[in-house]
Structure 1
């Protein structure tokens, strides 16, 4: 009887050891194949909203040439709105990145703010087949634990009168002004802007505040004519190219020295591209 009891005790002890009750078996739970063993954060990303403020006009910032009186656009200022929230209630920081380099250029108030942004004219891209331009900016929002979002806002600038995406410089042409009817008056050179198709370009001049006169483009059919210089083998007026405005059968400058105001218009869009003034003498 005692022998049977001893055998039972030994059997029970063996079973307990095998089942790990004595701590001899590793009871650590390991992730199944393909499962992530890293600890996950419950931090949620912020959320944002933004739009361009169309109730405030865009403003072109100019520099003036004191010699010629010409104005050149250096940048465009416009208004945008933004607001953001963090669903976890964490502190957040917000701001506009206007050159898409990942850094905030204009910090904003996250609870909602209108911000005036000034964007260099060189950053705008001409829209093919249009007189407008486009530029993209980003609203960056970062919460305190480090979660970040960035939303892209595309800005489009339609061509408007006085908005000098185009700029032209004027100067006196070679030769003296006489009482004849074929004098070279002034030279006009494009200094800023995208290519213009000559078929949609109109050039008018006003001599000493007189009535505007439309110049013909190389065929001498008007009272003034345009003689191209620069790259003349294509159908476009490009930066660096220009025209000499000459009399064409009319003595437009009769005083020997005349102030000539030149207006360049895109007839396809019906918009004035630029106005410049030069003295013919």
Structure 2
């Protein structure tokens, strides 16, 4: 049996329900209301129902039966809607309410609280990404230093045939940038492929009730930016090995065993 005795949510739309509410003396009353819509599920679950002004006024009047006159105008909180205002006008209104002993929050303030939590999570993930990039940079330095050592005779032969130090430096720097491009491109492709599969599986499975929800999205500009950033880090990381290769003496390099 579904909520309120209906087989599904759509069946509830248009139906009239009786809301039981107690007045100030404890006596129970019934207030009739018509269901005009249903709330979509969210990641935080269904937060509850929303009522229009007429129903909220009827509920408040019923709840205030038998209460002292002064208590009928006492509210724990209130929601008001205003025309679009500038930030200075909103600040002035908040200050006036604060001076009167009230605390005011706009919709942007409430959304900002959620954004703060999300930004905190993103910050932690960014920190892990920076650590991964630094570790990758050291890996590229180590790989290219070993490559320079193993290709000492080759470097000596290239310089003996007329290749200048600048050309040798450019060769190894380009190799470092290519390693960064290859690694970031393969990693991005794998992340997009796996993320798309996981997102579709969640959208069709546990989160199927959340219409229009995209768990993971990949913007082409962001992916391209990551690839360029990794290539730049790889290029910088390859500077030391390239400089060492460029300083090789061709005679000593050809004698290297």
TM-score range, shorter chain: under 0.3
- Structure having the higher Rg: 1
Structure-1-length-normalised TM-score: 0.23
Structure-2-length-normalised TM-score: 0.25
Q: Which has the higher strand share?
A: 1
Higher relative contact order (CA 8 A, sep 6+): 2
